[in-house]
Amino acid sequence: MNHLLKLAALLLIFTGTSCEEVNELRGKAPDDPEELKEYNQFKTTIEQGVSGTVLFQEGNCGFPLGDSCRTYPVSRNVRIYEYTTKSRTEGDGPFFTKVNTRLVTTARSDNEGFYQAKLAPGKYSLFIEEDSLLYANLYDKDRGILVAVVDSGWVTMLHPEITYKAVY
């Protein structure tokens, strides 16, 4: 993904288009969550780490999709810990009261849900601050929680969804 961003930057240089002109062309952030993820990826300014869009989903989101299902960006603190498995936490997922691994950094998503964090290569677990708790609802095959794998020179795109108010 980072290579696409570099290619876009080269295109800007060769065409003489400025970043400000691109932002003017982009206009308002899209309402569609998938389009918003694409829109937000161009905000990434780091060369290595994790970036993405934090989304909140609520309502009847079952099949067939209910009329009340809404998915929208939210501003939240994204806490990034060393790779964490369920056995290294306290509380019942998806809400956790404590994570017993080292907190590496915290990033704040903006009003369009965009967040980014510069990280060294490695495996990390992301938790979203939700009131006084930490929220994460995805596991890998080893029970690692909301995992981001960062490789040297790459930005990993990870789009956490807060879904506890949604019905499927």
Arithmetic mean of pLDDT, 35-51: 97
Token reading at 39 = 């829109």
CB 42 within 8 A of CB 151: no
Structural domain of residue 92, as residue ranges?
Answer: 2-167
Kindly indicate the confidence band of residue 34, based on its pLDDT and cuts at 50, 70 and 90. very high
Kindly indicate the confidence band of residue 64, based on its pLDDT and cuts at 50, 70 and 90. confident
Token reading at 8 = 């876009």
Gap between the Cα atoms of 21 and 25, Å rounded? 6
Kindly indicate the confidence band of residue 10, based on its pLDDT and cuts at 50, 70 and 90. very low
Helix (H) or strand (E) holding 128: strand 122-130
Torsion of CA 92, 127, 32, 17, to 10 degrees: -170
Secondary structure percentages of the chain, helix, strand, coil, to 5: 20, 40, 40
Is the pLDDT score of 2 beyond 60? no
CB 149 within 8 A of CB 42: no
Write the CATH number for 111.
Answer: 2.60.40
Can you give the pLDDT at residue 18?
43
Helix (H) or strand (E) holding 107: strand 103-108
pTM given for the model:
0.82
Token reading at 71 = 């998915």
Can you give the pLDDT at residue 9?
47
Overall number of domains in the chain: 1
Is the pLDDT score of 24 beyond 70? no
Query: Per residue in 115-157, pLDDT tens?
Result: 999 999 999 999 999 999 999 999 999 999 999 999 999 999 9
What is the chain's mean pLDDT, rounded?
88
Query: Per residue in 73-109, pLDDT tens?
Result: 999 999 999 999 999 999 988 999 999 999 999 999 9
CB 54 within 8 A of CB 162: yes
Is the pLDDT score of 1 beyond 90? no
